[in-house]
Amino acid sequence: MCLGRDSLDGPHVCGLAEEVFAAIPLPCVVWPRDGRRAVLVNPAFQREFGTSRGRAGPAWLASHLAPTDEADEFLFRDRHAAPRRYRVTRQVIDVPPTAFDAVFLMPLPDASRVADEPAAAPVACLPPGVTLTRRESQVLDGIMCGKLNKVIAGELHISPKTVELHRANLMAKLRVHNAVELARAVLDMPPRMDEPATA
């Protein structure tokens, strides 16, 4: 991302801007006022929505966020995820010669969940003490349904590499080495007698 640079000798705020936005725990997307595509999507936005800089921007926000009766509150709807509410804050960043729009999305607590939102019914039950992110849970459900990484990626609108990353995180959290061990850990199935135990 570049938030303005007149010359090589002039001010250059790009690196600082990227570090600042990356450190913000709230999902955030930034685009030029005269542009349609995002120039920055912070890691929190990518984790929350599985959307990269190439797809995010004002059009993506307009198609996924609907206003509610509350001021500055929006409902996120996606066919692959349960509806969620966010408080949305806009900020203009003026870095001559360009101005940028930044949008911050603060997830609202579970107490304000949508009334018609169905309760999550995960395919898998986790052992005590193991917590997963929303995206890890979605990937785990896909794995437990026997879906390939590329199928899970297509359903969640993320890349197969991202699915592989979530899969690796799942295996690390559950201390397993392959999909069979993962299923056993989740379903709490003891190993069969005719199979060797893994160390």
User: CB neighbours of 4 closer than 8 A, spacing ≥ 6?
Assistant: 11, 13, 95, 96, 97, 98
pLDDT at 189 over 80: no
Position 17 scores a pLDDT of 65
Percentage of the residues of the chain whose pLDDT score is greater than 70: 74
User: CB neighbours of 89 closer than 8 A, spacing ≥ 6?
Assistant: 72, 103, 104, 106
pLDDT at 88 over 50: yes
Q: At what angle do helices 179-187 and 134-144 cross, to 10 degrees?
A: 100
179 or 11: which carries more pLDDT confidence? 179
Q: What is the pLDDT of residues 16-54, one digit of tens each?
A: 567 777 788 888 888 888 777 788 888 888 888 877 767
User: Residue 14: helix, strand or coil by DSSP?
Assistant: helix
Q: What is the DSSP letter of 69?
A: S
CB atoms near residue 121 (< 10 Å): 6
Strands 40-41 and 98-107: unpaired
pLDDT at 198 over 70: no
Q: What is the pLDDT of residues 93-124, one digit of tens each?
A: 887 778 888 888 888 875 334 444 443 444 45
Position 126 scores a pLDDT of 63
Run of H or E including 17: helix 14-23
Confidence of residue 59 (pLDDT cuts 50, 70, 90): confident
pLDDT at 136 over 80: yes
Position 84 scores a pLDDT of 84
